[in-house]
Each structure stands twice: as C-alpha cells, then as structure tokens.
Chains A and B, each alone.
Chain A
C-alpha cells in the first residue's frame, strides 16, 4: 500500500512540476494559463493524497475554478494571445533565477530545519496511527480537517484572518469605486422608446443615418 502511495505521489508531483514548467515556457498565453490550471489541479490531488480533503476541494474551487478562469477571461480580452515572436529569455535572466531560488529557499529552509530531525519519526508515527485505526485521518494526528482549520482561523490565526478579510474588502471597494467613477462619465444607452420620447420633446434632435438633423413633423407642417 505504501509503495502505491509513493508511486501515486511521484506521478502527481511530476504532473504538477511539468505543468509548472510548461506555464513559463509555453509562448501562447492561453496555453500557459491552461497549464497553470493543470498545475493547480495537481496540487489539489497532492492535498487529497495527504487526506486534506477540504484543502484540496478549496484549491480546486478557488484556484482552478475561479482565479485561473478569471485569468483566462482577462487574457482573452487582450491582444497578441498567441505570443508569436516574443522572447522567452532576456539578458538579466540570471537575476530572476537568483531571486526565484532565494524565495524558494526561504520557503523550504524553515520546513526542513524544523522537521528535518524528526522527519522519519513523524512518518512512522503517522503510519502507526493509520494502521491502528484502520482508516485515514485519525483524531490524534495533525491532519487538516475542516474543523481544525475553522478553529485555528477563529482562535490562533484570528488576527491574520481578519487582516486578510479587510484587505480583500478594500480591494473590492476600490474596484467598485474605480468602476463607478468611470461609469458616471459615460452616457447611458437609451432604449428606443426613450429616444423617441426625447426626440418628440425636442431635447435630442433627431438625426438620420448620415448625422444630419431631420426636421420634426411640426416644423415640416409649419413650412
């Protein structure tokens, strides 16, 4: 059983990594975004393998289902989607490489530093508890169940959670403010009936297809 898990893990990681690499190497931006979705789904599958069902589903719901769809949506509204003729590497690519490596190291080092010593111990403990209860997510081990996540949001990480919420709210209000301001300057498109009424009252001069002013019926009768 354990070997199967390892094999599945390797396959999933390969899929995730390959899609991740494809995201940055493919020239077509749409394809790039689609590879990004594949990568997200691979990560979700890894979560599932770790029995973090809630995280996996949220990963799909938020990242694969919403964020990347919006990314795709935005890309499709731009031009030069195919990306032909764009250069993939610029002169200072090594700077980007260094920055990326440093960031990756910053994430991975503490994890290894903390867990490195008792890595094997943690693995054997988890294995033991699984075999003891006969099924996944035993109560004692720190598998991220929905209840645990909720409780940690409401107790341990309440402040970061609230700060993130306020940040999102700010973004939302800002977006609405910008959109609203832009919209107030724009003329509303009138319905046919409205346009007709306005023309009748002489507020808007009726114009023909070329833009010339058409005299009203009353004016014609007066002539």
Chain B
C-alpha cells in the first residue's frame, strides 16, 4: 500500500510525483520552450488588446495609452449644471450629505436675499476628496441627478488642502457628463431636466446660476487635478481652513457628534451672514472664505498657510477671469480631452 494509491480521502490529496520511468529534464525543456515562445510573442507579436489570448503584450503604456473606462466607473463625485441655462441641478436637499459614509460632503443652502427664505439651490458645496471613499452613494441617492461620479482619476497632488474641493471646482456642464456616460444620462435626462425646470421657477434672481461665475475655476474641469490656477487653489484652501479652524481649536475635548453639530451650526451662521451681507451678486464662496468671524480668522491664519492668507486679495481678479471664461473655451477643452482619449483607445 503506497501513499500514491490512496487519494481522494479527506482534505489532503497526496500528489503523485517522480513516477515517470525516465526523466531527462523534459519538464524543464518544455518550460523553457513555453517561456521562449512567450518572449517571442511579446517582443514581435501584436499587443494583446481583447485579453482573450494568453500570449502577447498585455501592458497598457499608461500615460500614452489608456483603457477606455466603463460608463459606470466611479472615482470622485462632481456636480452638474445645465448648459443652456447655466442653472445648477443641485437643490441642496442634503440627501447626499446624510448618506455619505465618511461624511465628507458639506452643503450650505442658498437663501433668498430679499426674504431670507431657503431657496432650492446650494450656496456652497464642499467635498473633501482626500477622505472620500468613492462609494457613489451620493450619486445614487440624489433625487435630482445633480451629483454624479467623475471618471477623472489623475487627482494626485502635492498640495493637500487642494483636495477640499468647493462648489466652483465641483461643477461640470451636463454635456461633459454626457460624454463620459451617455446611456446613463440618457436614462435620467428627462426627469432631471423636468425637475430642474420646476426648481428654476423657485430660484429668485441669479441664485442657482451664479456659482459657476464667481471664482471661475469651474471653467476648467482639469483644474481639479492641476494647481495651475493659484487663485483657485487659494480659494479652495481658505474655505475649509476657515471652516475647520475653530473646530480644531475646540474639538480636542469634543465627541464626533458634537463636532458635526457644531460644524452644521457654524455653517448655518455663515450662510445667514452671507445671505444678509451679500445683496445681489456677491460671492457666497468668497463670503464664506473672508467673512468669517474675526476670532476664527485669527485661528485660521496659521492653519491656512500662504495660499489662504493671499486668498482675499486674489479672489477679485479671479472673478473677472471666471466670467470671461466662456462656454466655447470649455467646449474646446472638452474636445481636446476627447481627442486624447480617442488616441489612447487606439
């Protein structure tokens, strides 16, 4: 009775080895020939595109070549606005903020400057990209199809505060989303547009259109990843810094829930002050950045570092740049990106 004779009983299966009568390195020779064939195919053969073959070059040369992403690919959330009217789809219903597992979404509701009543539009919308876990719950839960998941995955940066992305840099035109996920958008387009039309009726003045024009970073979707626009980076740096600073000062002795409450209260206060202090076209974002209480500003100053301290001065010119950045330019940018993507796909 040998070991090899008894198989299939229990978990351990003895493997039969060395049972050939004569071995003259046939196994090694066969292995060498297989490896050499792979070498030949990879060096001289065509790159393997459909992945059904087991041989050939599998590598995608990343910066030059890219795999085409599936429509439902999700990386980081973005917000949409209508191309035709310029109105944002977001109504600040707080569904996404509520559902967000890592709690990185922070919304401030817009107020009618005349009456002080809430308007179905967001005054400020911040997502902390560094803590976002790309679960996509926000996009799923959004009843207005305002928040969607972007395909841009080249977000690495050496400037950490830049990853707290504010409303201006979150906004993308609907046409952009159509290019990355046409069928998905096609399914929801009608209902989303219908809801948007209803909401537009309830938005007095420039509320709901103005955000994109305030700081201007929205014009370049790529600016999310590139700190090319110093003012954009500065604005994004200062807002969360001002928001976080008081919390950081007090928060050592506080629980998470209390912190969250405090944050929401402070956000409300800021929104109120912003709504009251800015009569018509003033920037809510800038308001949030600059118009904080003196004590928080003091705490914020060391925390926000250089870009933050420069921000108040820098926002002015940026506003001008933002308005001059037209839809055409954005379209051009999109065309270039699409062309690149097409090249990469080949």
A and B touch in the complex (CB under 8 A): yes
Question: Whole-angstrom distance from the CB of B181 to the nearest CB of chain A?
Answer: 52
Is the beta-carbon distance between B10 and A193 smaller than 8 angstroms?
no
What residues of chain B lie closer than 8 Å to A196, measured between beta carbons? 10, 12, 14
What residues of chain B lie closer than 8 Å to A165, measured between beta carbons? none
In the complex, A201 Cα to B10 Cα: how many Å?
A: 13
Question: Whole-angstrom distance from the CB of B18 to the nearest CB of chain A?
Answer: 13
Is the beta-carbon distance between B3 and A200 smaller than 8 angstroms?
no
A210 proximal to B (CB < 8 A): no
What residues of chain B lie closer than 8 Å to A197, measured between beta carbons? 3, 6, 14
Interface residues of B, count at CB 8 A: 9
Is the beta-carbon distance between A194 and B6 smaller than 8 angstroms?
no
In the complex, A192 Cα to B1 Cα: how many Å?
A: 17
Is the beta-carbon distance between B14 and A200 smaller than 8 angstroms?
no
In the complex, A196 Cα to B3 Cα: how many Å?
A: 10
B9 proximal to A (CB < 8 A): yes
Is the beta-carbon distance between A193 and B15 smaller than 8 angstroms?
yes
A161-209 residues with Cβ-Cβ distance < 8 A to B are 192-194, 196-197, 200-201
What residues of chain B lie closer than 8 Å to A200, measured between beta carbons? 6, 9-10
What residues of chain A lie closer than 8 Å to B15, measured between beta carbons? 193
In the complex, A193 Cα to B5 Cα: how many Å?
A: 12
Contacts between chains A and B (CB distance < 8 A), count? 18
In the complex, A194 Cα to B1 Cα: how many Å?
A: 12
What residues of chain A lie closer than 8 Å to B1, measured between beta carbons? 201
Q: Please tell me the size bucket of the interface on A.
A: under 10
In the complex, A201 Cα to B9 Cα: how many Å?
A: 12
In the complex, A196 Cα to B15 Cα: how many Å?
A: 13
What residues of chain B lie closer than 8 Å to A193, measured between beta carbons? 3, 12-15
Is the beta-carbon distance between B3 and A194 smaller than 8 angstroms?
yes
In the complex, A34 Cα to B6 Cα: how many Å?
A: 55
B8-32 residues with Cβ-Cβ distance < 8 A to A are 9-10, 12-15
Question: Whole-angstrom distance from the CB of B232 to the nearest CB of chain A?
Answer: 62
Question: Whole-angstrom distance from the CB of B3 to the nearest CB of chain A?
Answer: 5
What residues of chain B lie closer than 8 Å to A194, measured between beta carbons? 3, 14
Question: Whole-angstrom distance from the CB of B211 to the nearest CB of chain A?
Answer: 66
Question: Whole-angstrom distance from the CB of A178 to the nearest CB of chain B?
Answer: 30
In the complex, A201 Cα to B12 Cα: how many Å?
A: 14
In the complex, A8 Cα to B118 Cα: how many Å?
A: 98
Q: Considering the complex, give the chain B residue whose CB is closest to the CB of A201.
A: B1
Question: Whole-angstrom distance from the CB of A215 to the nearest CB of chain B?
Answer: 15
- Name which of B6, B9, B12, B15 has the most chain A CB atoms within 10 A of its CB: B12
In the complex, A61 Cα to B1 Cα: how many Å?
A: 50
Q: Considering the complex, give the chain A residue whose CB is closest to the CB of B13.
A: A193
1/0 per residue, CB under 8 A from A, across B323-337: the answer is 000000000000000
In the complex, A200 Cα to B13 Cα: how many Å?
A: 12
In the A-B complex, the 4 residue pairs with the closest CB atoms = A193-B14, A196-B12, A197-B3, A193-B12
In addition to A196-B10, A196-B14, A200-B6, 7 A-B residue pairs with Cβ atoms within 8 Å of each other are: A193-B13, A193-B14, A194-B14, A196-B12, A197-B3, A197-B6, A201-B1
A–B pairs, 18, beta carbons within 8 Å: A192-B12, A193-B3, A193-B12, A193-B13, A193-B14, A193-B15, A194-B3, A194-B14, A196-B10, A196-B12, A196-B14, A197-B3, A197-B6, A197-B14, A200-B6, A200-B9, A200-B10, A201-B1
